C-alpha cells in the first residue's frame, strides 16, 4: 500500500522509518495521534532507493508538519571524531573504548533501560547510519526544504528525530527479543496484542505481523508520538552541545522517571 493512499491524517503526521542499507529491508509507516491513540494508517516496504524517497517526499509535500522518526544513528561519537582528526597510523588513541565507540545517547539508554544500542563507532550499524544520512540529504533535495533534527515540538515543515524500537518495547515492559525472523510471526502477533491500548494497527495488522520491518516502522511512529506528547526523555542541558553533534535517541520515560529538560 502506498503511504499516500491512507486518507486524511491529523497533523503533525508521523512517518516511522525502520532504516536499513538495503531498500527492501527498509520499512515505512505513516500515522497520527487520534483521541490519544496512535493510529498506523499505512505501511510499505522499500522497493528501491527512488521508491523510498518518493514515498516519504509524497507525505512531506502533502502535509505542513511531518515528523520523521528514524531507527538509525544520526551521528557518531564526539570523542572518536576528535581523536581521529589528528591521528597517525601506528599511534595510540588516548581515550576509553566506551567513549570512542558509543555516544552519550547510547550510554544513557543502556543506563536507563538496560538495553544497549549497537556501537555506531564500531559495528555494522555504521553502514546503516551512513545510508540513512544520505537518504535524508536526497529527501531534502526532493522536497526542496531543510529537514533539521528537532529538539522540541515547536517545528514547522519536516523535522527528524532518532528512535529505537527495542528500547521502546523495554520501556513498555515488553521483551524486545525473538520477533525479527520470518518464523517469529506468533511473537509479533503477541507484541501487537500487548500494544493494543497504545497503537491502533487495525488498518495494517496483517502486514505488520508478517514483516518485522513493518512492525518496527510502526513502533517508530509510536516513539515519534511519545516525542510529540512530551513522553520521551530529553537530554540534560549540560549534554546539549555534545548531543547536537552526536544525535539523541528519544525513548519513552518509564512510570515514575522524572522528565529532563531539553
Is the pLDDT at 255 greater than 90? The verdict is: no
Query: Which residues fall within 8 angstroms of residue 39, CB to CB, at 6 or more apart?
Result: 31, 32, 33, 200, 203
Give residue 261's pLDDT.
52
* pLDDT-above-90 percentage for the chain: 76
**Structure-block grid coordinates of residue 10:** 491529523
Give residue 93's pLDDT.
81
pTM of the model as a whole: 0.94
**Phi, psi for residue 111 in degrees, rounded to 5:** -65, -45
Give residue 188's pLDDT.
95
* pLDDT-above-70 percentage for the chain: 96
Query: Which residues fall within 8 angstroms of residue 149, CB to CB, at 6 or more apart?
Result: 74, 159, 160, 161, 162, 244, 247
The number of beta carbons lying within 10 Å of the beta carbon of residue 198 is 15
Give the largest Cα separation in the chain, rounded: 59
Give residue 52's pLDDT.
96
**204-232 per-position pLDDT tens digit:** 888 889 999 999 999 999 999 999 999 99
Mean pLDDT of 106-110: 96
For residues 27 and 17, the answer to whether their CB atoms sit within 8 Å is yes
Is the pLDDT at 1 greater than 70? The verdict is: no
In whole angstroms, what is the distance from residue 226 CA to residue 223 CA? 5
**Best mean pLDDT range from 17-26, 35-44, 191-200, 249-258:** 17-26
Mean pLDDT of 101-125: 92
Task: Assign 92 a pLDDT band (cuts: 50, 70, 90).
Answer: confident
The number of beta carbons lying within 10 Å of the beta carbon of residue 253 is 17
- CB-based burial of residue 9 (10 Å sphere; 0-12 exposed, 13-18 middle, 19+ buried)? buried
Go through the domains of the chain in sequence order and give each one's CATH number. Answer: 3-84+93-246 (3.30.420.10)
Is the pLDDT at 145 greater than 80? The verdict is: yes
Give residue 71's pLDDT.
98
Amino acid at each position: 500500500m502506498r503511504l499516500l493512499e491512507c486518507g486524511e491524517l491529523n497533523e503533525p503526521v508521523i512517518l516511522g522509518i525502520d532504516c536499513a542499507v538495503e531498500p527492501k529491508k527498509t520499512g515505512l509507516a505513516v500515522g497520527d495521534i487520534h483521541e490519544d491513540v496512535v493510529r498506523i494508517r499505512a505501511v510499505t516496504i522499500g522497493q528501491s532507493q527512488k521508491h523510498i524517497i518518493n514515498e516519504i517526499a509524497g507525505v512531506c509535500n502533502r502535509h505542513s508538519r511531518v515528523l520523521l522518526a528514524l531507527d538509525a544513528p544520526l551521528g557518531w561519537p564526539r570523542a572518536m571524531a576528535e581523536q581521529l582528526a589528528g591521528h597517525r597510523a601506528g599511534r595510540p588513541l588516548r581515550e576509553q573504548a566506551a567513549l570512542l565507540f558509543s555516544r552519550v545517547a547510547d550510554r544513557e539508554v543502556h543506563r536507563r533501560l538496560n538495553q544497549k544500542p549497537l556501537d555506531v563507532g564500531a559495528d555494522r550499524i555504521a553502514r546503516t547510519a551512513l545510508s540513512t544520512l544520505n537518504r535524508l540529504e536526497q529527501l531534502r533535495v526532493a522536497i526542496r526544504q531543510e529537514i533539521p533534527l528537532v529538539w522540541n515540538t515547536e517545528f514547522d515543515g519536516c523535522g527528524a528525530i532518532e528512535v529505537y524500537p527495542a528500547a521502546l518495547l523495554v520501556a513498555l515492559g515488553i521483551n524486545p527479543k525473538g520477533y525479527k525472523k520470518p518464523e517469529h510471526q506468533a511473537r509479533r502477533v503477541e507484541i501487537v496484542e500487548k500494544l493494543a491500548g497504545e497503537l491502533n494497527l487495525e488498518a495494517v495488522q496483517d502486514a505488520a505481523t508478517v514483516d518485522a520491518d513493518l512492525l518496527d516502522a510502526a513502533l517508530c511512529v509510536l516513539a515519534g508520538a511519545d516525542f510529540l506528547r512530551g513522553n520521551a526523555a530529553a537530554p540534560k542541558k549540560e549534554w546539549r552541545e555534545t548531543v547536537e553533534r552526536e544525535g539523541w535517541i528519544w525513548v519513552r520515560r518509564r512510570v515514575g522517571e522524572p522528565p529532563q529538560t531539553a
